Amino acid sequence: ETGVTQSPTHLIKTRGQQVTLRCSSQSGHNTVSWYQQALGQGPQFIFQYYREEENGRGNFPPRFSGLQFPNYSSELNVNALELDDSALYLCASALNGGGAYEQYFGPGTRLTVT
């Protein structure tokens, strides 16, 4: 069973640029969530996708957007990058069967904005 994978591992961008981060969910999982983890802090929820539709969003501006594909993989897009966007971006997948469920995290993408 393959776990959650993310690409790239590290990324350096300049303020104002756009970035796309990718996530492959664990086999059989239909739900993907994205989190931002700033240095020294706990992860913060950005949004979640379930069956290709956004299924909840945290307190992040619209320049953070996402997609989920038919194979349940997902992308996180961030436009107009700001210095404060520098963080570890985590993807988590889960099998949403209608009840409580646990999320499985990938290794993350470390984004540095200069």
Partner 1 sequence: AQSVSQHNHHVILSEAASLELGCNYSYGGTVNLFWYVQYPGQHLQLLLKYFSGDPLVKGIKGFEAEFIKSKFSFNLRKPSVQWSDTAEYFCAVNARRNAGNMLTFGGGTRLMVKP
Positions in the binding site for partner 1 (CB under 8 A): 4, 31, 33, 35, 40-45, 47-48, 50, 55-58, 90, 92, 94, 96, 100-108
The CA–CA distances, whole Å, from 95 to 52, 98, 100 equal 14, 9, 10
Indicate the burial class of 97 (C-beta count within 10 angstroms; 0-12, 13-18, 19 or more).
exposed
Decide whether 85 or 108 has the Cβ nearer to partner 1.
108
Least distance from partner 1 to the Cβ atom of residue 14, Å: 27
Judged by beta carbon, residue 69 or residue 105, the one nearer partner 1 is 105
Kindly state the smallest distance separating residue 110's Cβ from partner 1, in Å.
12
Asked if the peptide bond before residue 61 counts as cis, ω within 30 degrees of 0, the response is no
